[in-house]
A and B are shown apart, each in its own frame.
Chain A
């Protein structure tokens, strides 16, 4: 159910990679929130995710869910950024044997999902492994 309003209202985080940073404790959360999950503060400011991060963990999806079968097999990772934010995203355009925990990645803007031939296309962040 990738409806147009649902994608449209997520533009700040999906298209501009906006996250929230807590003014009290400094915790950075993606997607943005109204309340800091660490300290409960409601004083949050918008920040943009850094362009690079590193792989905390990853897996290769070989049995894909509905809507993703044509991509299979593909890599989904948890990427940690220098400001501490952790985000789940696909690793693309990288040989599987180059993917390891701790490897540096660069954010790219890609198609996430197409709903049929004439349906909605959703875009968002993915990552590519870069050599240090």
Chain B
């Protein structure tokens, strides 16, 4: 297997982008990544996308994006794994380069969510749960994570204030990220006065509906070193792990965490020959505030049940023990579903290159991204390091 480097990244502005279509978003991020890499062509591409069929009434989007990017007659494949579509597409691109099948692969994640009514977008998202045994009982995605939050509070005494601390931190980080959807600081009062969505989760516990795209270019590390116009430190993909779990939340062994995160991380740590202590910065799937608390426990940054305390104590701030979501995370930066797994990886690349602006974590050499699909039925963990 060949070592693989990320030689280019493209991160679009996230938000309610009414002036841009799905194809605009995907093409712009892809062009930015290609220019950033300085490559003159790509051999193959993967498109991470969750639900173009219901969100924009368009399937078969992989050739569409390739076509509008100016590529004909190359392989272009869509990968769908709910909210983990982007990282699952990235993994396929990585496998294609590592195996020697292709030398220059583009991975782009994109989602266009604001062309339809919010209720319709929420319906579309709800299809990532078990339709027949969760959806038909009237559960929603905030509802699924509320079930986890309620149990987490019951078993460990996790508090309302600790959930709020996640949102406050991620909004603060997003405030300094020009690409983020929200540039609005929130405080405890704002959160506790926001509408209850599914007890105990309020509006400000939830990530928003977002349009956006992000892209990366993968190459064999040895080839990447020969790129004449390389103007960044090279970032290598040291490890990746993916794991699944039961589609329905009720059938998980634990209702206070996500076993797929722990398993995916175990694989990624092993492949990268890294330990948890080696990680300098992490982008985590905070689709809801409770998800970030569970993730930092499941990944091993903090003991089970202690995640809330850690956030409240500031240990996950930029400059803290382990900075979590310096980009603002899904909560503050936005969650264009198919783009999320790719932008997390691109954000880590920015950190490792030292290009993260006001949100730069000092001396970041090794970073981790965790992307979770559904209520935890798919998780991909990726570990990157600067060469």
B197: A residues at CB distance < 8 A = 62-63
A78: B residues at CB distance < 8 A = 147, 249-250, 255
CA distance in complex: A12, B41 (Å) = 56
Q: Tell me if A74 and B138 are in contact (CB < 8 A).
A: yes
Q: Tell me if A66 and B146 are in contact (CB < 8 A).
A: no
Q: Tell me if A88 and B250 are in contact (CB < 8 A).
A: yes
In the complex, whether B139 has a CB less than 8 A from a CB of chain A is yes
Decide: A56 near B151, CB < 8 A? Known: A89-B137, A112-B137.
yes
A61: B residues at CB distance < 8 A = 138-140, 143, 198
Decide: A64 near B150, CB < 8 A? Known: A31-B133, A86-B250, A88-B250.
no
CA distance in complex: A69, B248 (Å) = 23
In chain A, residues 25-72, which have Cβ atoms closer than 8 Å to a Cβ of chain B? 29-31, 37, 56-68, 71
Looking at the complex, which of B117-125, B170-178, B222-230, B305-313 is the stretch in contact with chain A? B117-125
In the complex, whether B387 has a CB less than 8 A from a CB of chain A is no
In the complex, whether B357 has a CB less than 8 A from a CB of chain A is no
**Would you give the shortest CB distance from B17 to chain A, in whole angstroms?**
24
In the complex, whether B193 has a CB less than 8 A from a CB of chain A is no
Q: Which of B126, B135, B200, B251 has the most CB of A within 10 A?
A: B251
In the complex, whether B148 has a CB less than 8 A from a CB of chain A is yes
Q: Tell me if B136 and A112 are in contact (CB < 8 A).
A: yes
* Nearest B residue to A29, CB-CB: B251
CA distance in complex: A89, B135 (Å) = 10
Decide: A63 near B142, CB < 8 A? Known: A56-B151, A58-B147.
yes
Q: Which of A31, A71, A74 has the most CB of B within 10 A?
A: A31
In the complex, whether B102 has a CB less than 8 A from a CB of chain A is no
Contact with B along A88-132 (1 / 0, CB 8 A): 111000000000010000000000110000000010100000000
Q: Tell me if B137 and A88 are in contact (CB < 8 A).
A: yes
Q: Tell me if A87 and B138 are in contact (CB < 8 A).
A: no
B199: A residues at CB distance < 8 A = 59-60, 62
How many chain B residues touch A (CB < 8 A): the figure is 35
Interface SS of A by simple majority: strand
* Nearest A residue to B146, CB-CB: A59
In chain B, residues 231-258, which have Cβ atoms closer than 8 Å to a Cβ of chain A? 246, 248-251, 255
B146: A residues at CB distance < 8 A = 59
CA distance in complex: A89, B248 (Å) = 12
* Nearest A residue to B135, CB-CB: A65
**Would you give the shortest CB distance from B30 to chain A, in whole angstroms?**
33
A88: B residues at CB distance < 8 A = 133-134, 137, 139, 248-250
CA distance in complex: A76, B122 (Å) = 17
**Would you give the shortest CB distance from B249 to chain A, in whole angstroms?**
7
Q: Tell me if B250 and A37 are in contact (CB < 8 A).
A: no
CA distance in complex: A60, B140 (Å) = 11
Q: Tell me if A101 and B251 are in contact (CB < 8 A).
A: no
Q: Tell me if A76 and B196 are in contact (CB < 8 A).
A: no
B143: A residues at CB distance < 8 A = 59, 61, 76
Q: Tell me if A59 and B198 are in contact (CB < 8 A).
A: yes
Select one of A37, A86, A90 contacting B138, CB under 8 A.
A90
Q: Which 6 pairs of residues, A with B, have the shortest CB-CB distance?
A: A59-B146, A57-B151, A68-B138, A86-B250, A60-B199, A59-B198
Question: Can you list 18 pairs linking A and B with CB atoms under 8 Å apart?
Answer: A2-B136, A6-B132, A56-B255, A60-B196, A60-B198, A61-B198, A65-B126, A65-B138, A66-B123, A68-B138, A76-B147, A88-B137, A88-B248, A88-B250, A89-B137, A112-B137, A112-B138, A124-B136
Chain A residues within 8 Å of B, Cβ to Cβ: 2, 6, 10, 29-31, 37, 56-68, 71, 74, 76-78, 86-90, 101, 112-113, 122, 124
Q: A56-B255, A64-B140, A90-B137 are in contact. List 5 more A-B contacts (CB 8 A).
A: A37-B246, A65-B122, A65-B126, A101-B154, A112-B136
